[in-house]
């Protein structure tokens, strides 16, 4: 069987190949490699698929005679699939196969699986880091001391001091793999956790809110963990931000489209919000001259919450395990329906 490891500079081909050889056995498959440029070059839309590396020609060439491809960013467009008649399975090393034209794959009998939860721990930890950074003004203090040489005593004044997580009301919108981990950590900090997620049944860490509006009215800190869907696009706009208590803090390491950043900037500039921390944006990379780059009291990171070495290893292992199930004729654990 011929397998293509189409890795990149995060989920490396060496990790994919090592996992495949462990799960399939040495010599069980002929593994060829294609290295894609992400993240040194941003992903984006390629033909009809979202969030992929622009490498259709190189992928078509590498897929010649290949039955299985393990990848994170390869663009499986209609054109690529049509040019790859031997292909029978695509194992995507990410939480959703947004780089695959699912309908075209299904029409050709190509099975598609993915790696849900691979970055849940990393993103949850990073979210807590963003939260504390915004609450305690850590990036500002670092910049003042390390880059300007200013031992600024104003950080210790009452009006400029930040909030603690202990005894602070923190609202979570979304309680999936990431949100549930964040809630658990916040409870350990002693925060007063409240969760809004109409799709989750059973117990949650903290209190369950019956409505988004009720949660917002009580949240000194708001953190977003919902999936981006047509229903949740723009979920938090000017009306919702106005429901937060004065001086609240907003954190988003989920999807940029959940939050109206123009409304966020307005609330920060007016002083209605104390701070915000963002890792994801509706447009990535941020366009030159973005208002976010000049708005005060914002902590910004370039969509790196899921960037840990452990995530790269987990992604390769999850995808490889799916390939092994395919080879053995077993049901796949995470197949796109």
Q: Could you give the residue numbers annotated as active site?
A: 255, 284, 303
3-state secondary structure labels for all residues of the chain? CEEEEECCCCCCHHHHHHHHHHHHCCCCCEEEECCCCCCCCCCEEECCEEEECCCHHHHHHHCCCCCEEEECCCCECHHHHHCCCCCCEEEECCCCCCCECHHHHHHCCCEEECCCCCCHHHHHHHHHHHHHHHHHCHHHHHHHHHHCCCCCHHHHCHHHCCCCCCCCEEEEECCCHHHHHHHHHHHHHCCEEEEECCCCCCCCCCEECCCHHHHHHHCCEEEECCCCCCCCCCCECHHHHHHCCCCEEEEECCCHHHECHHHHHHHHHHCCEEEEEECCCCCCCCCCCCHHHCCCCEEECCCCCCCCHHHHHHHHHHHHHHHHHHHHCCCCCCECC
Q: What is the dihedral of CA 36, 41, 43, 46, to 10 degrees?
A: -70
Decide: residue 8, CB within 10 A, 0-12 exposed, 13-18 middle, 19+ buried. Answer: buried
Q: Is the peptide bond before 244 cis (omega within 30 degrees of 0)?
A: no
Determine contact, residues 130/277, Cβ cutoff 8 Å.
Answer: yes
The pair of three-digit structure tokens given for residue 132, joined into one six-digit string: 């504390």
- Candidates 311, 336, 309, 333; CA nearest to 322 is 333
């Amino acid at each position: 069987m011929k397998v293509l490891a189409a890795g990149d500079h995060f989920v490396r081909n060496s990790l994919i190949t090592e996992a495949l050889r462990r799960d399939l056995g040495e010599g069980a498959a002929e593994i060829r490699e294609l290295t894609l440029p992400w993240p040194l070059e941003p992903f984006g839309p390629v033909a009809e698929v979202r969030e992929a590396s622009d490498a259709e020609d190189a992928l078509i060439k590498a897929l010649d005679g290949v039955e299985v491809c393990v990848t994170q960013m390869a663009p499986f467009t209609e054109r690529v699939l049509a040019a790859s008649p031997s292909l029978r399975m695509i194992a995507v090393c990410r939480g959703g196969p947004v780089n695959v034209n699912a309908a075209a794959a299904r029409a050709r009998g190509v099975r598609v699986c993915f790696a849900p939860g691979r970055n849940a721990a990393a993103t949850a930890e990073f979210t807590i880091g963003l939260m504390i950074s915004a609450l305690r003004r850590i990036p500002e203090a670092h910049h003042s001391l390390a880059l300007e040489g200013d031992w600024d005593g104003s950080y210790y004044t009452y009006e400029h001091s930040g909030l603690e997580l202990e005894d602070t009301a923190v609202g979570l919108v979304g309680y999936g793999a990431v949100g549930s981990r964040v809630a658990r950590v916040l409870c350990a900090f002693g925060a007063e956790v409240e969760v809004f997620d109409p799709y989750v049944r059973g117990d949650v860490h903290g209190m369950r809110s019956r409505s988004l509006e009720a949660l917002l009215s009580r949240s000194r800190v708001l953190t977003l963990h919902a999936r981006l869907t047509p229903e949740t696009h723009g979920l938090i706009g000017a009306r919702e931000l106005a429901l937060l208590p004065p001086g609240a803090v907003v954190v988003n390491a989920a999807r940029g489209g959940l939050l109206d950043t123009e409304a966020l900037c307005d609330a920060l500039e007016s002083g209605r919000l104390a701070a915000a921390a963002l890792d994801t944006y509706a447009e990535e990379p941020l366009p030159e001259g973005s208002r976010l780059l000049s708005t005060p009291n914002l902590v910004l990171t370039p969509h790196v919450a899921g960037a840990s070495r452990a995530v790269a290893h987990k992604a390769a292992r999850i995808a490889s395990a799916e390939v092994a199930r395919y080879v053995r004729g077993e049901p796949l654990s995470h197949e796109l329906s």
